[in-house]
Amino acid sequence: MPDNLTWARDQAPAIRRDADPVTEIAYAQAEDGTHVAYRVLDAETESATENVIVMVSGGLIPMEVFEDDPGFVRLFRGLCSLGKVVVFDRRGIGQSDPIVEWERPVLDQWSDDLSAVVEATAAEEGVVFAWDGYGVATRFAAHHPGRLRMLVLYQPKVIPEDDSDERSASQLSLLRENLAGRQDSFLEQLAPSRAADASFRDWYRHAGRAGASPATAARIWESVFRSRPSDQLLGRVETPTLVLYRRDNTYALPETARLAASQITGATAVELDGADHFPFIGDVDSVVAEVSDFVVGHRRLPPPERLLTALLFTDLVASTERAASLGDHHWKALLDRHDAVVRAAVGNCGGTVVKTTGDGVLALLPSAGAAVAAAERIRDQLAADGLAVRIGIHVSDIDRRNDDVSGIGVNIAARVMGLAGSGQIVVTASVTSAATGQTTEFEPLGTHQLKGVSGVVELFRLPGT
């Protein structure tokens, strides 16, 4: 079974190859001579080629790692259904030239980089989709009125002047912890839905190393947080603007986005569900839907992703009786413990928790072996806490759209879990076949007719459960 990185690359949109055939990049040149690396992703349909969307990314994430994350791939598929997509590394990041003029605000220099890329890719009268949060795109739009047709700002941040110093100091402290390798609290704010996902944490660490050195990153953030809200020039933006923000984002609070929108004449602000800060995490499709409605006048989404994966369902045994005997407060504490154990076990085995089911979860794992290992950890750790759990595992193709999955394989995995007893891990023959050659042994349980599933399914149980 392919890992997340291989799958992401296989699903990525085609990259234009008329630039350097080895690096697949081209360079725009800013007015001060700085070389800005960029790439062009082809539109998915001929009818969409009239649109050019230039993406201003956030953080210090270089474009070379974009397609290594499934969420980024999903975002690109959505944007490429609207037109050609241009991505670039701002100076000081990835494959662009380093920053040499530290006395000048970095955000102003990044705005010059955007201008150079727009000119190099003939994106005048195009669309800029910016999620940097600190006004790179608004500076460009204010200084070059008429060069853009539309502007989309995802999670812009304008902190009230009387709160600016304290809030900036708090976020700069978080960023310093992140640069020092203490990323847990930072990711819990930035990407709560994937903070426990080991593959995402590995990707994020790699992105940081590839983006900028620790010393350069520190100087960049020091410059960014010296800027004032008025430096974003929001009041001078004349371009039709869409502002998107997520309701439960604790890193960039909703009111900071609403304040930004209020300062742009005629801007439309749309609140989205979710708590993740980056647009490529969480409900990516809701971001794409609003962008497409703004750009082409109707919501246009890429098709669901077809993915081969191991599905794992858990369920606390006798949950109704336990809830009644313990009371709401104590039962909630047990559920929280269950969820924490499952997320840690699944994340450590390279998987992702898709959703909770009240007193259980559905998770995706990259292999049958990983799913079995996660299941054993979950069972053993919860048993030590006096909690009995039943678990079902099945390997299947599924349809995935952002945070949810569907397909007959999901139904099979749920039915298999329903047949497990207290403390048992029950799997289908797909799991035993995929785990061939591993040390795990399985006890046959015979064939079973599963409700809503045609034919019979051969089931097995892990010994000792």
Give pLDDT tens digits for 258-280.
Answer: 999 999 999 999 999 999 999 99
Residue ranges of domains in the chain: 4-296, 305-461
Architecture field, domain 4-296: 3-Layer(aba) Sandwich (3.40)
Q: What is the arithmetic mean of pLDDT over 68-85?
A: 91
Residues whose CB falls within 8 Å of the CB of residue 25, separated by 6 or more in sequence, listed in order: 19, 37, 38, 39, 95
Condensed to tens digits (0 to 9), the pLDDT of residues 127-140 reads 999 999 999 999 99
DSSP letter string, 126-184: EEEEE--SSSHHHHHHHHSTTSEEEEEEES-----HHHHHHHHHHHHHHHHHHHTT--H
φ and ψ at residue 58, rounded to 5 degrees: -110, 175
Residue 398 contacts by C-beta under 8 Å, 6 or more apart in sequence?
Answer: 306, 307, 309, 311, 364, 405, 406, 407, 409, 410
305-461 has which fold? Alpha-Beta Plaits (3.30.70)
User: What angle (nearest 5°) sits at the alpha carbon of residue 56, between those of residues 52 and 59?
Assistant: 160
**Residue 465's pLDDT band (boundaries 50, 70, 90)?**
low
What are the tens digits of pLDDT across the range 379-412? 999 988 888 899 999 999 998 776 788 889 999 9
Helix (H) or strand (E) holding 229: none
Residue-wise pLDDT tens digits, 295-354: 999 887 777 778 899 999 999 886 556 555 666 667 777 788 888 899 999 988 988 898
**Is residue 388 within 8 Å of residue 318, measured between CB atoms?**
yes
CA nearest neighbour of 311 among 360, 383, 381: 360
Residue 245 above 90 pLDDT? Answer: yes
